[in-house]
């Protein structure tokens, strides 16, 4: 997505809304942190389980002039056909426990906001994470740099290159 420059008043309103939304999304990562006191979001990480992956994604990033947050998140249980979407509210409420041998795909659109004295730059990027036996085995993760330029990190085991074309399309797939 191309960056957009926004005037001061609009920037201030969006900053307030962004912080409010980030605060709402923080409940899951705070609950995860409470039950895993030594956890720090060191992400992405091969081997992370589904709940750690989601907690890391839902932890808003606030650094100097940069804020990132989840714009859209979908989780699919791919252990059987057809793939079943796991509702985000079910995961965040603690009502869902991933199977230790479960296979999942997480796809997320992250939004980045970069603030300067005169404008705010907003960009987004899609990332995905492929889990087998409830552990991240492959991912394409966008980290945001200066002015929210996405920098992709791609890791995984051989044989998962076909996922790079399929998984991002899941974000816009109609819900069942």
Tokens 């990190």 found at: 153
CB 119 within 8 A of CB 6: yes
From the CB of residue 83, how many other CB atoms can be counted at a distance below 10 Å? Answer: 15
Domain boundaries, the chain: 8-172
Closest residue by Cα to residue 109 from 46, 63, 24, 170: 170
- Positive/negative CA dihedral, 6, 17, 37, 41: negative
Q: Say what the pLDDT of residue 60 is.
A: 82
Q: Say what the pLDDT of residue 137 is.
A: 92
CB 172 within 8 A of CB 107: no
Mean pLDDT by 10 residues, the chain (176 residues): 47 40 58 87 87 90 86 91 90 90 94 89 92 92 90 74 69 63
Q: Say what the pLDDT of residue 152 is.
A: 86
CB 42 within 8 A of CB 136: no
Q: Say what the pLDDT of residue 72 is.
A: 92
């Amino acid at each position: 997505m191309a960056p957009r420059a926004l005037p001061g008043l609009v920037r201030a309103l969006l900053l307030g809304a962004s912080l409010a939304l980030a605060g709402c999304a923080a409940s899951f990562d705070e609950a995860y942190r409470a039950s895993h006191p030594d956890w720090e979001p060191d992400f992405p990480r091969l081997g992370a389980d589904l709940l750690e992956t989601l907690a890391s994604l839902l932890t808003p990033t606030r650094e100097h002039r940069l804020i990132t947050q989840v714009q859209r998140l979908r989780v699919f249980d791919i252990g059987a056909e057809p793939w079943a979407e796991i509702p985000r509210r079910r995961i965040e409420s603690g009502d869902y426990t991933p199977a230790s041998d479960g296979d999942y795909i997480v796809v997320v659109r992250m939004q980045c906001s970069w603030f300067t004295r005169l404008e705010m730059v907003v960009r987004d990027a899609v990332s995905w994470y492929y889990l087998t036996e409830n552990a991240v085995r492959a991912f394409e993760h966008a980290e945001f740099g200066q002015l929210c330029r996405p920098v992709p990190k791609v890791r995984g085991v051989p044989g998962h290159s076909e996922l790079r074309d399929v998984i991002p399309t899941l974000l816009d797939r109609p819900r069942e």
